Amino acid sequence: MRWENRLYFPTNLVTQNLTVGDLLIVTRNTDDSLLAIVAENGSTVENQLLWLFGFTDLGHPGFSIRGELETEQDRIAFTSRLILENIGIVVETQGDSWLDRIFTKFGKAFPTTREFSEFARNTIQADVRDDYDNVLLAWMDREEILFRTLEKHLIADRLKQGFDNDVDEFIKFSLSVQNRRKCRVGFALENHLEAMFNACGIRYSRGSCTENKAKPDFLFPGIDEYRDPSFDAINLTMLGVKSTCKDRWRQVLSEADRIDRKHLLTLEPAISLNQTMEMQSKLLQLVIPKSLHDTYLPTQKEWLMSISDFIELTRRRQNN
């Protein structure tokens, strides 16, 4: 006699798009509710979920049960939060012990992203030149915790004031919260990279115009050299910066015509093999913090650059 378990589910918009080989993860939440997550076979999202839930060492299991997660992905907190929030799960961060210091520095208002990034860096005692890759992640993680702590209290204060039954005003406020979250992470990443380049003595231009009003995030050694036709293009470097890639990585390809091989720095783990193969075919080099390289396949890891690798490249070209 053979026992067999079967999972039945109703037909709906989600189940109609499922196919053999897709990933299904069912989690039990702290309130004992269940969350079902489905990802397309071979997609970046599937790779990220397998890594997040600790299944990467098992290949693609037909069926597996995990209890508590006690693996490396729990310690790379910022990256884990990015994945979870991309699938609609908001992670609460605990940083209330910093609140008085934040209010003393900025009052009860959002400072500029540049000011807040500098504040976050100053709360961590680390020499960036000792470990470029891990220090960048530490800066990003600390800023995220501090920002969410401030945001939580400012939003709570605004909600207490109420909206006098003005639906439009409430929607406007809600949208401003969402837009601030989306924009801030990208700017914070650029701010921390800028601080890193300054600490290393690397020359650059940030957000300068090239052809067709394109604005690469960083040009090395600078926009003046880029616009000088006598400057050898082999010593020019362009770096695009995106906290997550998705399909937006193609935007980088048209941002500096003089530079054939472009670089893109992201904090996104486990991008699919198809995506990275297309990047390679378009002469786009991916730059990823070293601790995230293990979320990629062995063939992908051979091609990836770390932040330390990129800094050495720009330093070498700058000295030519």
CA 264 → CA 59, 82, 98, 307, distances in Å? Answer: 28, 18, 33, 11
CB count within 10 Å of CB 269 equals 25
Task: Judge residue 258's burial from the number of C-beta atoms within 10 Å of its C-beta, 0-12 exposed, 13-18 middle, 19 or more buried.
Answer: middle
Is-catalytic flag, 132? no
Active-site residue, from 132, 204, 226, 296: 226
Task: Report how far apart, in Å, the C-alpha atoms of 121 and of each of 118, 140, 194, 276, 311 are.
Answer: 5, 9, 12, 31, 19
Place of tokens 């807040």: 116
Angstrom distance (rounded) from CA 86 to CA 74: 17
Q: Which residues are catalytic?
A: 226
